[in-house]
Structure 1
């Protein structure tokens, strides 16, 4: 298994400038050590580091932000702990989730999952492309312009349709980390995200 810092290094070599540190079932000391090693990689490449699950760890190591799942500390408490300048993201599966997160002032939303993924232990109901289009359509209808990122089993071939549906970007772990050349795959994702957006027809 590729270590967190090594995986971040390969992704950053491919041009990634936003890294989320996720680790499960570790002691706090090891969790902190791996997060700090990943942070060093991010700083060397000028990349943003987002710590998953733990506002306390993000605060301790001076990470750029924290991403909170639906079972983690709520976003309002995290904002009170971290202050106004640390990025806070939240996970959503429905339009109601997005509305709730927007109301407490998160900086971005991870919406998904698109499809089954082995990188998450507890999956919410799969959205598929039609699900993304529905939620993003509801956001547009009420003028909610929060950046929304697609998560959960996203493949390179999905990027054009997801961007056309209105997503701000995509979060990928398995697609890059499991590739024969993670740096090259990261570069391919960035190229796809920078392509002109075409109209989506469902």
Structure 2
């Protein structure tokens, strides 16, 4: 099973990456929305360079074609993007694959694509966008862990304190957007997240999962 860093921030552009990667982030998603293709390609290429410099794993959200063309290593797809993606091309290119899920049916769809990780959310209510799904909660996270053999990512309404509960419930990694990008001090908040998830980073002292 793929081993993910337990702290998984999702950031909107390379300005954010350049600002926060020096704090010690080792896994990050570039989540570009509503930009021209030329900007998307430029941002992906720049993000790849930043992540190489900081020894950080980069996940590209949605743009699997550009990820293949530019030589990225990891792509994340939502359910709609998964349905439209050329999974054979993604596999041929050697890209690792993460897939979002919000229900049992979506989990089945995701697992049919043989992903490297499945993301479940929202675990808690989130302010990022209006969700058609109720908060999943920690019991559903534990249920997902029992159903899958790939890595499991928790997302939605997480704070450093809640992240520890999600990791103890069976998540391999906890993804976060709002708690960082809306913070008065994102750098300090990243450091707080890294500290909070540290026990799950050191495999020799990882707490037992519930």
Is TM > 0.5 for Structure 1 vs Structure 2?
A: yes
SS in 2 for 1:50: strand
1:171 aligned residue (132, 156, 175) = 175
For residues 73-104 of structure 1, give each alpha carbon's deviation from its aligned partner in whole angstroms, at most 9, with x where no partner exists.
Answer: 33873343442621111000123422332232
1:162 equivalenced with 2:162 (yes/no): no
Instruction: For residue 119 of structure 1, report the CA deviation from its aligned partner.
Output: 3.6
**1:105-144 matched pairs, under 5 angstroms:** 105-120=114-129, 123-129=131-137, 132-137=138-143, 139-140=145-146, 142=147, 144=148
The gaps in structure 2 that reach 5 residues or longer are 1-10, 200-205
Structure ranking higher on relative contact order (CA contacts 8 Å, 6+ apart): 2
Instruction: For residue 124 of structure 1, report the CA deviation from its aligned partner.
Output: 3.9
Structure 2 length as normaliser, TM-score? 0.80
Structure 2 CA distance for aligned equivalents of residues 135 and 198 of structure 1: 15
Q: State the match for 1:95 in structure 2.
A: 104
Larger displacement relative to structure 2 (78-87 or 31-40): 78-87
Contact kept? 2:145, 2:171, Cα under 8 Å: no
Contact kept? 1:79, 1:88, Cα under 8 Å: no
Instruction: For residue 5 of structure 1, report the CA deviation from its aligned partner.
Output: 1.4
Instruction: For residue 198 of structure 1, report the CA deviation from its aligned partner.
Output: 6.3
Instruction: For residue 138 of structure 1, report the CA deviation from its aligned partner.
Output: 5.1
Structure 2 CA distance for aligned equivalents of residues 9 and 91 of structure 1: 26
Q: Alignment length, in residue pairs?
A: 194
1:17 equivalenced with 2:26 (yes/no): yes
1:147 equivalenced with 2:156 (yes/no): no
Q: State the match for 2:66 in structure 1.
A: 57
Structure 1 length as normaliser, TM-score? 0.83
Structure 2 CA distance for aligned equivalents of residues 128 and 101 of structure 1: 17
